[in-house]
């Protein structure tokens, strides 16, 4: 049930605006971009990299494309190329650099560059880090070239979803078939609202995948609970089994099977130890105890609940090679 509420909280705002059209500027601006400059990028000192990231984040936010949502596939990234390096004839001597800064909007999954632009800047300082930082500090991203660059990226992202919606849905179904339900729902729910037709199709596809998710979890939890009680067919094992079974979503198709399992465990403990199931229900009132028991139960049978891993942004390093 908790997962269901979470999904509804995410999707209700989306349903309410599903009738938006591309003609509205505020809809067009709802395409999110995450700014990422991989730490593996060479020749950009740490402070300069942080400054560039902040400037890019501010630029996309001011253009209505601030990163939102989980793991969007479309990213804004950058690299700097050193054009010249000189030492000034001053006391003390300064290092003077000329840089070319390249900006990219990329699809890091398909390894495509959707939009790009560049500009030249200069900086000087008594060391490399200060020279890079000073060169970036004077840069303003509030200009027509950057706006054109961002608009081009928006247009390409819209074109991607409008022309490949069937593939997006097929990818999500493939992930669900591998029991990667969270990743499947994420794939469908990150389609921008402005891509009205694809957005609506993806919303329709989420329901069945979510049902498969809670059904899969239900069967798994019944198996885990059975193993817990088989290992300890007593009140201690019943507590662990009950802690697992209590997490089952009532909307799952095997919910009634879980209730039957609970009744069987209760009857067994009552016969052997003369303990009523009310004893276990009272134990569940302590949420800390419930969570501890649930975690312990999963450990006892070697089952781990894993979260979908964050995508590795090393995938965008192909840009810098």
CA–CA separation, 10 and 295 (whole Å): 27
First-to-final CA distance of the chain: 47
Tell me how far apart the alpha carbons of residues 191 and 195 are, in angstroms, rounded to a whole number. 7
Share of the chain above pLDDT 90, in %: 16
Of 29-38, 108-117, 198-207, the one with minimum mean pLDDT is 29-38
125-158 pLDDT per residue, tens: 888 888 888 888 888 888 888 889 999 998 998 8
Confidence of residue 212 (pLDDT cuts 50, 70, 90): very high
Instruction: Give yes or no for a contact between 205 and 172, defined as CB atoms under 8 angstroms apart.
Output: yes
Convert the pLDDT of each residue in 40-55 to its tens digit.
665 678 788 888 888 8
Residue 40 is predicted with a pLDDT of 60
What is the pTM for the complete model shown? 0.66
Beta strands in 88-227 (DSSP E): 95-107, 112-125
Q: What share of the chain is helix, strand, coil (3-state, %, to 5)?
A: 55, 15, 30
Mean pLDDT of 197-216: 90
Q: Which of 35, 30, 34, 1 is nearest to 13 (CA)?
A: 30
* Per-residue confidence (pLDDT) for residue 317, from 0 to 100: 59
């Amino acid at each position: 049930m908790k997962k269901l509420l979470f999904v509804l909280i995410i999707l209700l705002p989306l349903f309410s605006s599903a009738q938006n059209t591309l003609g509205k500027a505020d809809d067009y601006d709802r395409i999110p971009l995450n700014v990422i400059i991989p730490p593996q990028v060479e020749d950009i000192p740490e402070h300069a990299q942080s400054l560039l990231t902040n400037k890019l984040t501010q630029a996309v936010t001011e253009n209505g494309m601030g990163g939102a949502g989980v793991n969007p596939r479309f990213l804004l990234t950058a690299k700097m190329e050193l054009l010249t390096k000189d030492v000034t004839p001053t006391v003390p001597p300064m290092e003077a650099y000329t840089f070319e800064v390249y900006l990219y909007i990329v699809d890091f999954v398909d390894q495509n560059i959707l939009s790009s632009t560049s500009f030249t800047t200069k900086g000087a300082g008594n060391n490399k880090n200060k020279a890079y930082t000073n060169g970036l500090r004077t840069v303003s991203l509030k200009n027509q070239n950057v706006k054109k660059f961002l608009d081009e990226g928006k247009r390409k992202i819209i074109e991607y979803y409008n022309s490949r919606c069937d593939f997006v849905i097929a990818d999500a179904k493939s992930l669900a078939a591998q029991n990667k339900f969270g990743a499947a729902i994420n794939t469908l729910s990150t389609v921008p609202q402005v891509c009205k037709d694809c957005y609506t199709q993806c919303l329709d596809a989420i329901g069945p995948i979510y049902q498969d998710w809670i059904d899969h979890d239900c069967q798994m939890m019944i198996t885990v609970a059975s193993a817990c009680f088989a290992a300890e067919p007593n009140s201690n094992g019943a507590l662990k089994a009950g802690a697992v079974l209590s997490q089952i979503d009532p909307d799952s198709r095997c919910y009634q099977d879980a209730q039957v399992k609970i009744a069987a465990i209760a009857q067994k403990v009552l016969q052997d130890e003369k303990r009523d199931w009310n004893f276990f229900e009272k134990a569940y009132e302590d949420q800390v105890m419930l969570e501890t028991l649930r975690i312990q139960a999963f450990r006892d049978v070697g089952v781990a609940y894993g979260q979908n891993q964050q995508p590795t942004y090393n995938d965008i390093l192909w840009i810098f090679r």
